A and B are shown apart, each in its own frame.
Chain A
């Protein structure tokens, strides 16, 4: 278990002190894939570097399985880092070493015998699906392949925690997907806790079960991924979940039209063509003015802005109809 307690990090720059993290507290359980998401400059990278003490927190503590990371001696910290490895946006492979030697590298650091290290490295190259690249140099590989080598290298010392710092941000969507699959697989098969730093909601959606949203160095929301997606409360969360905008109407308002916001809170998405049914059953032809919905695990999350032509009575009728559906909330929008 990783416990981050009241973490604050202040950088002293020439423009004065900058608070990158303010009083951040998180608990990450074993086996979680924990997403930490935020815009650039939100402090995500600083936060992940505080976990393995690449950055020393100004205040607060990080406990990994009860060990206070900040209190370790340099030597013990180096040993501890074999249990908390990291992959990066830029892969950061040693460019003058072959892929096999790159995977051997952390084992060499730990003092393992060359022959044993090589054997273990080959096994890892098998796991990441690149045994044929053992003697190739990183420059000869594509970005996705380089990240696979980096993952093999990170797994070499059999860590308990894998930190992923924007690990898929430099990759195209298809490669991103395959790398995320690999990470998910590793999490499942080896039981490694994964912390994923990203600015892409799609990454969190795809692999994380828990998420914390970081904005301006503060955790503004945290919890189950499905809960946050269903009802993002903070502005930062809304921006991330619905980057197209939460409320902005796409279609101009007509005269004599009332507006309803419909919130889907995990409604059964597949079985209910809700708006069409309302038109057929009640004769109310709603105008969809804006919609921002996502399907997570077969359930619909998000919201929709409807324009209802007609008078008060029609509106009430529509409200009654919509609210009758399970996990759907409707409210009138007045502005």
Chain B
């Protein structure tokens, strides 16, 4: 399959596509990823907080059935393969965006796939907060809301940023998949040329760009997380 990939003709074709479509593809991928992650965090963050605080030892224990229901819903959504979730989300996409095809429409299944994941990541970040610090805040008369806003979230900022970076790169990977059902971006370019028209070089170039994008997201996230962590000495 890869024997005739790097011919002069292939390079010429690829260059044309790079010039005409890659910039738009890159923008669409970036835009979809960031917007979808934003909404996923918007839904996932409070859900993650609820999972931690609603625990029986949490700052405002929820009735056990409520907590169990939340866990089941999250696990259900997390276990549906993304490709199938995209199709299942068609009605919802039509309801919210008005269509099931296109870049904007692909944000809907991405958010549905990512927010339970984000909830779990937020949950693990918040569980890292030293329970003794929470107890200290309680001993000073902090309300559950104050504990969340002034202790748990600020104390876990570095970990939250690391985990949201993970979510961002995962959503980026999912967004490439949405090319199959008409989502835009680099994924669509890779699938259209590589899968449907056997232009493997174009596919490879699109993938290289995706890899670079992941690298950039990851290194920004890592740097930000370290920079904001005041537990690290000598800064």
0/1 interface trace, chain B 138-161, chain A, CB 8 Å (1 if under): 111111001000110011011000
Q: Is the beta-carbon distance between A52 and B233 smaller than 8 angstroms?
A: no
B130 touches A (CB below 8 Å):
yes
Cα-based distance from A138 to B130 in the complex (angstroms): 14
Residues of B within 8 A of A163 (CB): 139
Q: Which of B181-232 contact A (CB under 8 A)?
A: 228-232
Give Cα A52–Cα B130 distance, bound, in whole angstroms. Answer: 20
- The minimal Cβ–Cβ distance linking A107 to chain B, given in whole angstroms, is 10
Q: Flag if B140 contacts A95 (CB, 8 Å).
A: no
List chain B residues, Cβ under 8 A from A52: 139
A109 to B138 CA separation, bound complex (whole angstroms): 10
In angstroms, Cα B141 to Cα A78, docked, is 4
**Which 10 interchain pairs have the tightest Cβ spacing?**
A92-B136, A81-B141, A78-B141, A137-B230, A106-B140, A86-B139, A92-B132, A95-B231, A139-B231, A96-B230
**Contact among A93, A97, A110, A140 for B141, CB-based, below 8 A:** A110
Interface majority SS on B: helix, strand, loop or mixed? helix
The answer to whether A92 touches B234 (Cβ under 8 A) is: no
A residues near B155, Cβ cutoff 8 Å: 94-96
**Chain B contact residues, CB within 8 Å of chain A:** 130, 132-133, 135-143, 146, 150-151, 154-155, 157-158, 228-235
Task: Write the chain A residue with the least CB distance to B132.
Answer: A92
Q: Which residues of B contact A79 (CB under 8 A)?
A: 141
Q: Are A78 and B142 in contact (CB under 8 A)?
A: yes
Known: A96-B154, A139-B231. A105 touches B132 (CB 8 A): no
Query: How far, in Å, is A86 (CB) from chain B's closest CB?
Result: 4
In the complex, whether A146 has a CB less than 8 A from a CB of chain B is no
For residue A105, which residues in chain B have a CB less than 8 angstroms away from its CB? 137, 140, 150
Choose one: A85, A137, A139, A140; the contact of B139 (CB below 8 Å). Answer: A85
Range, interface on chain A: 20 to 34
Q: Return the chain B residue nearest A136 by Cβ.
A: B230
A82 at the interface (CB under 8 A from B): yes
Tell whether A54 is near chain B: CB-to-CB under 8 Å. yes
Chain A nearest Cβ from B140, distance in angstroms = 4
Residue of B with least CB distance to A74: B143
- Please measure, in the bound complex, the distance between the C-alpha atom of A105 and the C-alpha atom of B142, giving whole angstroms: 10
Contact across chains for A140 and B234 when beta carbons are under 8 A apart: yes
Chain A nearest CB, measured from B194 CB (Å): 46
Contact pattern, A 78-119, Cβ under 8 Å of B = 1, otherwise 0: 111110011010101111110000000110111000000000
Q: Which of B135, B154, B233 contacts A139 (CB 8 A)?
A: B233
24 A/B residue pairs, CB under 8 Å, sorted by A: A81-B138, A81-B140, A85-B139, A85-B140, A86-B139, A88-B132, A92-B130, A92-B133, A92-B136, A93-B133, A94-B154, A95-B133, A95-B155, A95-B230, A96-B158, A96-B229, A96-B231, A105-B140, A108-B150, A109-B137, A137-B231, A137-B235, A139-B230, A157-B140
Contact indicator A86/B231 (Cβ below 8 Å): no
Give every chain A residue within 8 A of B230 (Cβ-Cβ).
95-97, 137-139
Q: Select from chain A the residue with minimum beta-carbon distance to B146.
A: A109
Bound-state CA distance A95–B228 (Å) is 11
Bound CA span A54–B158, Å: 29
Please give the distance in Å from B180's CB to the nearest CB on chain A.
42
Docked complex Cα distance between A199 and B38 (Å): 51
Shortest C-beta distance, A299 to chain B (Å), equals 38
Q: Which residue of B lies closest to A81 (CB)?
A: B141
In angstroms, how far is the closest chain A Cβ from the Cβ of B133? Answer: 5
Q: Are A106 and B141 in contact (CB under 8 A)?
A: yes
Q: Flag if A90 contacts B132 (CB, 8 Å).
A: yes
Among residues of B, the one whose C-beta sits closest to the C-beta of A141 is B233
In the complex the two chains form, what is the Cα distance from A54 to B235 in whole Å? Answer: 35
A109 to B151, CA, bound (A): 11
Contact of A78 among B143, B157, B233 (CB under 8 A): B143
- Nearest CB to that of B138 among chain A residues? A54
In the bound complex, residues from chain B placing their C-beta under 8 Å from that of A94 are 133, 151, 154-155
Q: How many Å lie between the Cα of A96 and that of B229 in the bound state?
A: 7
Within 8 Å CB of A157, what residues of B? 140-141
